[in-house]
Amino acid sequence: MLAWLQPKPKEKHAMASVGWLRAAVLGANDGILSLSGLLIGVSSADASRRSIALTGVSGLIAGAMSMAAGEYVSVSSQADLESADLDLERQEMEQNWDEEVVELSNVYMTRGLDQELAHTVATKLMEHDALEAHAREELGINMYSVAKPVQASFSSAGAFSAGAILPLATALLSPVEHVTIILTFSTLFFLAFLGFVGAQIGGANKMRAILRVTILGVIAMAVTSLVGKFFDTEP
């Protein structure tokens, strides 16, 4: 009779993993594609194994540092904006509490609650945690997942490195005269696998994800290969 009171199994939504999934896939994809393109461009110019190795290691390190620095600056800017908005909201609540209750009530009224219920909900939530309520409903900020620049920086560099190490290892283990062709096909496999994993975790269409990353990969590698051929100075 009280079965409806029993807790139901918690649903697993793909959106719960969208943040870290996006960052991980972006970093790994960038690592695979950028380093593969770099190595294919160099090998297409008939570079020696030493040149290929030096280019690959330098590209991996430079790319990881660039990703880390870029992510740190980006997320730091986001954190600064969030902090400034929260400070302003905190100040407004100290000075105009009643107006902030009305403001939050209006948010709930636009979502379908009647005026009395909206006012009751807004009052209860602000009594519990006023800043958290306004941050979530008015500013769209989740107080429990605010921007973390250092964490984002290391995660981005790690994802890039994890992706970049695959084409680097492939290039170093391949016969130097066949690096371009082996690296091209192995990169397509790496990209397809990454697209599959990302779609699997995110619950998206797997074939669409695979086609998207592989087609873009083919275009990128074709362009860099042509650049390498253009600058080939060997007789």
Write out pLDDT tens, residues 102-111.
Answer: 888 888 888 8
pLDDT tens sequence across 101-160: 888 888 888 888 888 888 888 888 888 888 888 888 777 777 666 667 888 888 889 999
In angstroms, what CA-CA distances link 55 with 34, 59, 100? 12, 6, 58
Which alpha helices (DSSP H) does the chain contain, by range? 18-43, 49-95, 97-110, 115-134, 149-173, 179-202, 206-230
Q: How far apart are the first and last CA of the chain?
A: 87
Return the pLDDT at 199. 77
Residue that the structure tokens 């994802």 belong to? 159
The DSSP secondary structure of 109-154, one letter per residue, reads HHTT--HHHHHHHHHHHHHHHHHHHHIIIII---TTS---HHHHHH
CA separation for the pair 106, 117 (Å, rounded)? 11
Which residues have C-beta within 8 Å of that of residue 74, sequence separation ≥ 6? 152
CA separation for the pair 166, 186 (Å, rounded)? 9
Amino acid in position 104: L
Say if CB 44 and CB 225 are below 8 A apart: yes
Return the pLDDT at 15. 41
Return the pLDDT at 90. 84
Residues of the chain predicted below pLDDT 70: 1-23, 143-147, 202, 227-235
Return the pLDDT at 202. 67
Residues 66, 15, 145, 103, CA torsion sign: positive
